[in-house]
Amino acid sequence: MRKKHSGPVAQADSSMSGISVQTERIKAMEARLNRGVAVAADMEQALLQFGTIQEDLKALEQYLGSEERKQDLAADEAGLLPDGLKRGVLSEDGIWNLLERVKDIKSQFKDLSQT
């Protein structure tokens, strides 16, 4: 015959299902922790990379309305540029869409920093 305990030991004996609830809770929280650590590491890397393109973004923004871009576009339309040359920067939409996307990303970060 099993001896009845009082106090914490008795609570542990009588709540074995509580242990399985605790185990599942700990597993779930551990998964959240691991996911958070991984996402935070990825975000740090992305932010480092994002920081490195700020000068590029400024240059693209200046290029968008510049005389140089107008000359480059005219040369393209006249067929003076090599066939294999990529021309994404000659599209107003390409640069503008990138700049708007970056603006949206910065806004999202601002919103997240206030939560």
Pair (110, 66) in one structural domain:
yes
Phi, psi of 91 (to 5 degrees): -85, 120
Question: Does residue 12 carry a pLDDT above 80?
Answer: no
Question: Does residue 8 carry a pLDDT above 70?
Answer: no
CA distances from 38 to 25, 30, 32, 33 (A): 20, 12, 10, 9
Element (H, E) at 20: helix 16-52
Pair (40, 74) in one structural domain:
no
HSE on the CB side for 52, CA within 13 Å? 6
Pair (39, 7) in one structural domain:
yes
Pair (101, 67) in one structural domain:
yes
Pair (32, 80) in one structural domain:
no
Where a domain ends, among 32, 50, 68? 50
Pair (18, 57) in one structural domain:
no
Q: Name the average pLDDT for the chain.
A: 89
Pair (32, 60) in one structural domain:
no
The predicted-structure confidence for 85-104, as pLDDT tens digits, reads as follows 999 999 889 999 999 999 99
pLDDT score at 100: 97
Range of the domain at 88: 53-115
Average pLDDT of the segment spanning 25-50: 96
Provide the 8-state DSSP code for 88. Answer: G
CA distance 16 to 1: 19
